[in-house]
Structure 1
Amino acid sequence: MAPQRFREQFDQIQRSMPDVPLAMGPDDSADFIYEKGVVLARDGEEARIVEDTVRTHFAETTGLVADSVRRGGAETNRSGITRIEVGDPGEGDQRGDRAVAGALRALRAVEGRAGHRLVSRNHVVHIAPVNACPGDEPVPAPLDQPPNPAAAEAAYDPDTAVGVLVIDTGLMKDHGSYPLLAHTRGDLQIKETGDDGALEQYVGHGTFIAGLLAAVAPNTDLTVRNTLNDAGAILESEFGDKLFEAVDRDGWPDIISLSAGTPNGRPDGLLGLQAFMEELRTQRTLLVAAAGNNGSATPFWPAAHATLPAWEDSVVSVGALRSDGEFGACFSNHGGWVKVYAPGERLTSSLTGFATPVPYVYRHSTYDSCRYGFTYACTCQYPRHAGQLSEEQQAGGGKPDQVMFEGFAHWSGTSFATPVVAGMIASHMVAHKETDPRAAARQLLTAHAEFAEVRGAHVPALRPPTWRPVPVVALATGT
């Protein structure tokens, strides 16, 4: 029986949010995760319209009346979002929420008259490897093997360094033992290990990303915030405010590297992030965002803003290439909304720092064949290991595999292609004395982008000069 990654990740995220009942959506499949019994609307008149419409719709249905509205003031809810309770979150199971679905249906006619969206599910936003189909889990790399991409030959100069903000899971406490991260600042991971002394799931994610960025662009002022500390997951209704908090602490940076998001089945983004995205447009900051690891063409937000007319200059969406750099990685999301691809399979960076070896117990089992139908030795299958969550789901009773990390790791995902692109843009800014990150992104994509093949299409690709391609092993004819 194949591992059920979405189910495993759903259960893991639910454990990290014990007080928030969650459901899978949309209601006839499992593409995203959202809060049961709640919808979102903009503060003020639109929230009143949504509440009144839902109340009227459910007037004759016991337990499905919007009986509570929580409105945040300007200081506590900068995103301007109201949570409206539309049902009992304890009703039904985790395969959907008929109260939320009913509320969305009730607003369709009103939204048609208004000409824009009024209501939304409260989605769970997560780091890309946690999105129901993680690229893979980290694998220990030998300490005598250099990082990949290797460190570029450039010195750190605080007077000319490009400011980069990484929104992620925070830094490992001993990250400074890795020379490339010696001047990196920010928040520490709140909890690194469990009661058994083993690394928690996806800790080190922010440190790994910072290491990639510092390798590609050593002349950067890197700040890492632990906005996504709890299993890399946060509710949409909270995420917008957390993004504002992150930029308010140090000012808007040149570049934001964000390896997080969610699909929502819509072409117009996340309601809870709209205020932040509108503010981003007025700044000079460039958002470089991961396209996600669902192996899907469904837009993944906020990365998919990259091809919306209002955000074409302010957002770069990044997909992942496989280890040879010639084709798309099996797990990478794809489609016209992905602006550029970069190496994102089996990259090598610092995971834990180098002070103390620490164990890790695998959560997911590998598959017998690629779950996306690819015919090369992809991360779905190799390296082989048995995972704790997969064993629990299958009631196999087997013992999960454990490894030791001593600093470096191999890891795959659009999460890691993203800082590669962010670093290349920052490096371009330094080399060409370009002070506008958005102009730098345009210049880089216009003059220096090469091409790769992704699902039969030739797409723009950026490959760092210090990145070393790794030949892939074909399991059968094809790619």
Structure 2
Amino acid sequence: MFDQQAVLERVLARHRDAVVVEPVPGRPALIRRDQLLVAGHDAAAAEDLVRRWCDAREDGPGVARLRLRAKPDVCELAAELAGDGPHRRLAVAPNHLVHGQPLWWSGPADRPRPASPIPAPRPAADACRDVTVAILDTGLAPHPWFEGADWFGERSAEDADVLDADLDRAPDAQAGHGTFVAGVVLRHAPAARLLARRVLGGDGVGDELGVVRALARLAERDHADVVNLSLGCHTYDDRPSPVLSRAIAALGRRTVVVACAGNAASDRPFWPAALKSVIGVAALDGDDRAWFSNYGWWVDAAAPGVEVASSFVRYDGPRPPVDGADPDRFDGFATWSGTSFATPMVAGLIAGLAAAEDLAAVTAADRVLDQTRRPTRPDLGVIIRS
């Protein structure tokens, strides 16, 4: 894995409003400074309680953001507003950064590597129903596997996969992540209709606010049978963010949410994968846990996550050829490793089964994770190989 301190320094340099917090020694989290997120119905009450610090309130789908002045301790303030007991009074949280690349706590465990073309997934002629998979990630780039699909033509420009957002004439560290995840889903659910939403930048960093608002839009106007979240974070108190939890709950029981367990080789809960209502997916390397994969009581399933092959963007990066091979010239295909890519396999299997047998997504998920049909492992859950 990369030098984590160097990666962190790059994140903080690019995101000037980000700060590392560590209320519990050895358990850091990244948040946007001077911001509180509040579930919509609690926004007025929270604003009133913090009025001496509140500079502005910004309402939006599913969540309000309170911008603070006078530099209060955002974590202490969130804890005070939520309450110390097991039941929170208000749904309030710092605006945690979420990650979906080889950064610190999430995403792919290494760089993508060029791969030879892979045959395009072909939908079966006898699919019983349409299934929609929402992918909240870096967006989607054009690719032969889906350029002719109706759903690809319907995507908006704001959900395109941006390759060089910082304009440094080199692809961003996570360019193509969403396009890669989409290909993994299609390899296991060729008939799926994909709904891509960009919530991560090209550097693989987003925040809880963006994820919650994308989930709220799904709940309010776009139905998805399955939601794939190849992203996540640790929280400042190692408890689930009540704001994100409520956004996922608002999707309803018809929608299955699948999220990556993270790449810190740790059993520290990683959110939202550790939520009871979410299928948290670890990565396998052959028959064993991949060395980088998180694990723990909160993991529900494990799937192959090393050298996964999928669709990718096209670009020629700045690195020179080595022994006649160009290490960063991509012609639309790549291999990549990480829990980010074990996750869409599980999401795809659920969507594919739902489409093939006319099942509700929840029923299909129960079948895919059926412990009477598949082996299980402590701290990894159900072992899924195909």
TM-score class normalised by the smaller sequence: 0.7 to 0.9
Q: 2:68 aligns with which of 66, 85, 98?
A: 85
1:93 maps to what in 2?
none
C-alpha deviation, 1:225, in angstroms: 1.8
How far has the Cα of 1:420 moved from its partner?
0.2
Instruction: In structure 2, give the amino acid aligned to 1:221.
Output: R
Larger-Rg structure: 1
Tell me, yes or no, if the aligned pair for 2:128 and 2:355 is still in contact at 8 Å. no
Q: Aligned match of 2:346 in 421, 430, 453? A: 421
- Tell me, yes or no, if the aligned pair for 1:40 and 1:83 is still in contact at 8 Å: yes
Alignment of 1:155-170 (within 5 A): 155=124, 160-170=129-139
Which runs of 5 or more residues in structure 2 are unaligned? none
Question: Which of 462, 466, 471 is residue 384 of structure 2 equivalent to?
Answer: 462
Q: Which residue of 1 aligns with 2:30?
A: 33
Q: Which residue of 2 aligns with 1:242?
A: 214
User: Structure 2 vs 1, CA of residues 24 and 449 (structure 1 numbering), >3 Å: closer, same or farther?
Assistant: farther
Does residue 127 (structure 1) correspond to residue 100 (structure 2)? The answer is yes
Aligned partner of 1:141: which letter? A
Matched residues in 1 for 2:249 and 2:210: separation?
17
In structure 1, the partner of 2:232 is: 261
Q: CA deviation at 1:197?
A: 3.8
- TM-score with structure 1 setting the length: 0.68
Q: Give the superposition deviation at 1:34.
A: 0.8
Of 45, 49, 68, the match for 2:54: 68
Does the aligned pair in 1 maintain the 2:164–2:202 contact within 8 Å?
no
1:330 paired with 2:330, answer: no
String of CA shifts for 1:271-302, please: whole Å, max 9, x gaps: 3323312312x341111111111111111111
Asked if 2 retains the 8 angstrom alpha-carbon contact of 1:123 and 1:264, the reply is yes
Residue number among 10, 13, 36 corresponding to 1:12 in the alignment: 10
2:114 is matched with: 140
**Which deviates further from its counterpart, 131-140 or 218-227?**
131-140
- 2:312 aligned to which of 333, 351, 376: 351
Secondary structure of 1:23's counterpart equals strand
1:448 offset after TM fit, Å?
7.0
Q: Please say if residues 128 and 261 of structure 1, whose CA atoms lie closer than 8 Å, have aligned partners that are also in contact.
A: no
What are the residue-to-residue correspondences of 1:285-296 with 2, within 5 Å? 285-296=255-266
Q: Matched residue of 1:214: which SS?
A: helix
Secondary structure at the aligned position of 2:211 is classed as: helix
Change (3 A) 1:15 1:246: farther
2:219 & 2:76 partners in 1: Cα distance?
A: 36
Q: Which has the higher strand share?
A: 2
Deviation at residue 219 of structure 1 after TM alignment = 1.4
Aligned-residue RMSD, C-alpha: 3.2
Over residues 26-76 of structure 1, what are the superposed CA-to-partner deviations in whole Å (9 max), with x where a residue is unaligned? 463363211223444441224433x27xxxxxxxxxxxxx5324323xxx4
> Residues 77-102 of structure 1, C-alpha deviation per residue, up to 9 Å, x if partnerless?
232434252643xxxxxxxxx83355
Q: For the structure 1 residues 80 and 197, does the alpha-carbon distance in structure 2 shift closer, same or farther, using more than 3 Å as the test?
A: closer
Whichever residue aligns with residue 334 of structure 1, its letter is Y
Task: Measure, in 2, the Cα distance between the counterparts of 1:227 and 1:157.
Answer: 34
1:226 aligns with 2:163: no
- The secondary structure found in structure 1 opposite 2:365 is helix
Change in Cα spacing, 1:451 to 1:113, as seen in structure 2 (3 Å) is closer
**How far, CA to CA, are the matches of 2:270 and 2:86 in structure 1?**
25
What's the counterpart of residue 301 of structure 1? Answer: 271
State how far apart, in whole Å, the 2-side matches of 1:246 and 1:426 are: 17
Tell me, yes or no, if the aligned pair for 1:291 and 1:414 is still in contact at 8 Å. Answer: yes
The alignment's TM-score, normalised by the length of structure 2, stands at 0.83
SS of 1:43's equivalent in the other structure is helix
Change (3 A) 1:304 1:32: same
Q: Which amino acid aligns with 2:295?
A: H
Distance across 2 between alignment mates of 1:229 and 1:427: 29
Once the two structures are TM-superposed, the CA of residue 408 in structure 1 deviates from its matched residue by: 1.6
User: After superposition, what is the alpha-carbon deviation per residue over 1:229-263, rounded to whole angstroms, capped at 9, x for unaligned?
Assistant: 352322323431132235556x1111111111111
Q: Which residue of structure 2 aligns with residue 370 of structure 1?
A: none
Aligned to 1:71, what secondary structure does the other structure show? strand
| C-alpha spacing 1:180/1:277, structure 2 compared with 1 (3 Å) | closer
Paired with 2:87 and 2:166, the residues of 1 have a C-alpha distance of 49
CA contact (8 A) 1:200 1:360 kept: no
In 2, Cα distance between the equivalents of 1:161 and 1:114?
41
SS of match in other structure, 1:304: coil
Deviation at 1:196, TM superposition (A): 5.4
Q: In structure 2, what is the Cα distance between the partners aligned to 1:247 and 1:139?
A: 36
Instruction: Establish whether residue 273 from structure 1 lines up as the match of residue 195 from structure 2.
Output: no
Distance 1:333 1:265, change over 3 A: farther
- Is 2:209 the partner of 1:209? no
Q: Is the 8 A contact 1:140 1:410 kept in 2?
A: yes
Alpha-carbon separation, structure 2, partners of 1:271 and 1:328: 30
CA distance in 2 between counterparts of 1:113 and 1:211 reads: 43
CA distance in 1, matches of 2:212, 2:313: 29
Q: Contact 1:129/1:136 (CA < 8 Å) preserved in 2?
A: yes
Residue 140 (structure 2) pairs with residue 171 (structure 1): yes
Separation in 2, partners of 1:258, 1:153? 24
Unaligned runs of 5+ in 1: 53-65, 89-97, 363-383, 385-400, 465-479
1:386-433 deviation digits (Å, cap 9, x = unpaired): xxxxxxxxxxxxxxx962212221101111111100111112113322
Equivalence for 1:321: 284
* Residue deviations 1:182-234 (CA, integer Å, cap 9, x gap): 42523312344764543211110011111111111111112222222352322
Which residue of the partner structure matches residue 45 of structure 1?
Answer: 45
Matched, 1:445 2:338: no
